[in-house]
Every structure is written in C-alpha cells, then in structure tokens.
Chain A
C-alpha cells in the first residue's frame, strides 16, 4: 500500500499500520454479525445437508439428500426456470434499460419529467406491482389483451399459461427497470463529449457512434449491471411467488395446498423450492442442499464480478 503524505506534511500522518486495534473496535458489530449471520449459518447449512432434519429429530444420512437432488424433478424445473431468467429476463431488462437511457440523453424537452416517469415504477412495492400485473395481463378483462384484440391478435393467457408466465414476469421486470436506467444514464452522460464530436466530423452516423464510442466506454457499467442482474435472478422469489398465488387464488401458509410454480411449475425458482422444502414440508436437510446449490452459483458469479472489477475494491488512494 502506498504511503500518501498529505499536503502540509503533518508529522503524525497515519502510517500503514498501527490502527488495527482501533479498526477492530469500530468494526466489531459487523464482525460479530459476520460470524452470526454468515460464517455460522453457512457451516451449519453444510452440516445439516448431511442429515435428515424436520425440526424434531436429527439423523445422519450421509449423501442421501444430495442423491435426492439428482432425482428431484421439481428442483430441475426450478433450475431450468432460473436459467431461462438468466438467458431472457436479464438481457431483456438490460437492453431495454440501455435503450431508454440512451433515449433520455437525446431528449431536449422534458428530460427530467421522463426520467421521473421511467424511474417511478421501480419503487412500487414488488408485491403491489405483481398483483397489478396479474390484473393487467388478465386474459379476459385486462387492458393488454384488449389492446391486442384491437390489433386483431388473440392475447395469451399470461400467468395462466406455462409458456407465457415467464414472459409476463419479464414484462414486469422491464417495467421496474428504472434503477438500471438511472445507472446507465449516469454512465452515458459521463462519456466525453469530444469523442462524439470527433466521430461526427469523420462522418460517423448515430449507430456507428453508439457502437464504436458509447458501448466500449460504458461496457464496464453494463457488465456490472448484467452480473448483478444475474445474481438477482438467482434469488428471484417474490414476483414469481406472488404471481402464482394471485393467479391461482390459493394462499400459501403452512398446511395449505399451495405448491409454488403455478401454472405447472412454470414460475418455480430455486429459492421458492428451497423455501417450500424447508419451511412448508420441513425437510430442512434437503433444503440445505438446495441452499448450497444456490451458494455455489452465487459465489461463482461474485468471483467473476470481483475479477472483472478490481476497481470495485480500490480505496481511491492510488494504492
């Protein structure tokens, strides 16, 4: 680490070491939290994954839970659905957000108003937004299918049709992409203006400018947003769960007949299946195996993120 000497050269300028005890004291709440809510539960999850555990009895069963995973069709469905979200929902949201942000940089009239409008839905509570979308995409009475009918298109059954439930959730995700729009907008406005001016003089059109100047300059921000989008897709829970509940009309509570994923497992994701196994069926050992699958995937992605973005951890002092 470089020793930065502050201008004015105070004689007591901090040295690289010597603040360790102080730092330990200041960071102690988080260190305890790290142990209690990260290290311990992670170790316990591994431990439980080798056991049959239903809140009352704990029995060592070796690799049986892992073997069960291999034959668990619902877990496989959940993983396939998660892959679908990664392959379609994340790119759709990212590209859409980039398009909207690009449009915002080109607006002369009412840019502030449009920015507010595009950001607003991302604040709407997820449950409320999902309930609203189930209604709006309701095949019989919803305005979307009515508008499609005006165009002579018979709209799909959306949240009632296994083939259309995930596209419906994708529309919801695009509606709530305001966060990403704001991030992209800030990045686009940071692209040095003179690069565009130089390209324009060379006769580059709008598309060439976008492809050769805009995209390369902001690609770290796009990459960052895409990777966090994928990590978020791994955790996808609330919207899928609420859409299934509202569309099927069955409540989820311990002992109810609700099985997540309505219709026909189309909206089932890994965290939902984990939740169902652990806290509805109380097969907690197996739920821990599912948790470890999620953990492996998210760790892999986090490492990709950290490797690509060493600037992420830079301390801004030229170390």
Chain B
C-alpha cells in the first residue's frame, strides 16, 4: 500500500544505496506491522483459550494459577449438563430467538419496503419515528410495558419478548430500508408496468435482490435474542424453568461458587453455537455490519 511506497519514493532521488536502505526499512515496517497483528490476535483469542483450558481442569487445579491442565477432564462438560438444565435453557433460547426472528422478518420487511418505495406525505416523519424508536433505550419504557404484560398474566414467560416482534422491529426496519432504497426504481417500475401487484413486486423482484440485507437482519435479530440478558431477566427471573442460556449462565457461578472449571465449561458451551454459526456465515455478518455503519 501507499505508505510502504513513501520512503522508497523519497529515497529514489539519491542513488542506489538509498534505495537499498529504503527497502530494508520497508521490510522492517512489514515485520513490525505483522508482529503487532500477531500480538493483537493472541490478545483477542487468549480469553477464549483460557476459558477452554480451565474448562478441562480438575476442580482443584482450576483454583490454582496454572494455565495448562494436568489432565484433560472432558467429563466436566457432561457434569455441566447434570448440574444445570442446560438443554432446557437452550430450548428456551431457541424458542425466543427463532420465533422472534421469524416474526420480526414477517412484520418488518413490508414496513421497510413501504418506507423505501411508496411516496406519501409523512414518509420522512414515519422514518423519523423509526429512528426515535430505534434509539430509545429499552429500559425507559420498561415499567408501563411490564405492567401491561402483567395484566395479561404473561410475566414469567418469554412471550412479552416474542410477541412484540409481530409489530415490527425498529432497528431491522431501519437497516432494511437503508438497503431497499439503493435498489434502482427501474426494476420495480418495470415489474409494475408488466402488471405485477405491489406484493408480487416485493416477493418476486425486491426480496431476491435484498437477500444479503435480509440475511444480515435475520442474523442480527437472532443473535440479539440469543445474547439478550436484560429482557429475560426482566420477565423470567422468578421462573427458572423459562430461563435462557444467558440468564442461566449468569447465575451458574453463584450456584457452584468455587468450581471455576465447571463455570468455564458452561461458558464455553454457551459460546460454542455462536462461534460455529459465525464460521459458516462470516461473510453475511461482515457485510451486514458494514451496512449499519457506512451510511453515516
């Protein structure tokens, strides 16, 4: 890249010896940059590695300062399943994340399309409303919403978190709309001239073109729910049979106070699905993140 070229360009004015030292400097910079990158990579991966190594130690060794397990106790993972209803937490988490994501897509795509394509008075106002809702910290409106769900006797379940997704999610609407406005109008207009209804245009023309954005929104939505702690804590902290993985994991250490190895094994088990999905869908994630930030 250009910076590596800079010393060479300056060194080119004298003669041969300057070129050689410039080349040596460029090589040194190359090494320095990659050394920093490797050091950073170790810092980024280190925590995950320590979690994994501790998860495999014996109860006693996990309380020492050792980094490397003396013996590999794979049974710790099985023990976590015995100690905590991990599968139930997993099931609840899947229900919460899966249904929420499906509902969110169903309700948000038409709204985003209307905001991106239809021309009507108040469109900017409506879009401002979406942004206002997106920026609202969820805690601000928690009390009245909680009271409504309490009246329907749905507190103590995850439904207060799932059902609202049927009415659109502001962040998803925003993101989809930002993508849909970039689809050239010619495509949708041409389909309309051919006599397609708006719904058909959306299904046959727009959705196939918007697949990357929809995939990104779906993944973000799913992971938001998967990682959510505040929502399940608010509604299900008194109903342990409804706990999600995040909620269960947060209380795991207090239940098994000194067994760091089991706590770390549980932590690793909660991390694992996310990491596995990431390796299969890496591109979708990175493109999606880029979509959220570059529109500034």
Which A positions have Cβ atoms within 8 angstroms of B? 1, 4, 6-8, 10, 12-20, 22-24, 26-27, 29-30, 32-34, 36-38, 40-42, 44-45, 48, 55, 100, 103-110, 114-121, 123-129, 131-133, 135-136, 140-141, 143, 146, 175, 179-180, 182-184, 186-187, 190, 193, 196-197, 200-201, 203-206, 209, 220-221, 223-225, 231, 234-235, 237-238, 241-242, 245-246, 249-254, 271, 274-275, 278-279, 284, 287-288, 291-292, 294-295, 298-299, 301-302, 305-306, 309, 311-313, 315-317
B292 at interface, CB cutoff 8 A: yes
Q: Min CB distance, A295 to chain B, in Å?
A: 5
Determine if B6 and A204 form an interchain contact, defined as CB atoms under 8 angstroms apart: yes
Q: How many residues of B contact A (CB 8 A)?
A: 117
Q: Min CB distance, A248 to chain B, in Å?
A: 9
Which B positions have Cβ atoms within 8 angstroms of A? 1-6, 9-10, 30, 33-34, 36-37, 40-41, 43-48, 50-51, 54, 63-65, 67, 107-108, 110-111, 113-116, 118-124, 126-133, 135-147, 150, 164, 166-168, 173, 181-182, 185-186, 189, 192-193, 198, 223, 226-227, 229-230, 233-234, 237-238, 245-247, 249-255, 257, 260, 263-264, 267, 270-271, 274-275, 278, 282, 285-286, 289-290, 292-296
Question: Contacting B227 at CB < 8 Å: which of A48, A125, A274?
Answer: A125
Chain A contact residues: helix, strand, loop or mixed: helix
Cα A15 to Cα B118 with chains together (Å): 10
Determine if B140 and A45 form an interchain contact, defined as CB atoms under 8 angstroms apart: yes
Cα A106 to Cα B270 with chains together (Å): 34
Q: Min CB distance, B55 to chain A, in Å?
A: 10
Cα A127 to Cα B232 with chains together (Å): 12
4 A-B pairs with least C-beta separation: A33-B167, A183-B293, A41-B141, A44-B144
Q: Min CB distance, A195 to chain B, in Å?
A: 9
Which partner residue on chain B sits nearest A125 by CB separation? B227
Determine if A206 and B3 form an interchain contact, defined as CB atoms under 8 angstroms apart: yes
Chain B contact residues: helix, strand, loop or mixed: helix
Which partner residue on chain B sits nearest A105 by CB separation? B1
In the assembled complex, 24 residue pairs joining A and B whose CB atoms fall closer than 8 Å, in A order, are A8-B186, A23-B123, A107-B33, A117-B41, A119-B285, A120-B48, A128-B249, A132-B264, A135-B50, A135-B260, A141-B63, A141-B64, A141-B260, A179-B289, A180-B293, A183-B289, A183-B292, A225-B293, A225-B296, A235-B137, A279-B146, A295-B140, A302-B135, A312-B131
Determine if A125 and B142 form an interchain contact, defined as CB atoms under 8 angstroms apart: no
Cα A77 to Cα B250 with chains together (Å): 24
Question: Contacting A45 at CB < 8 Å: which of B2, B5, B143?
Answer: B143
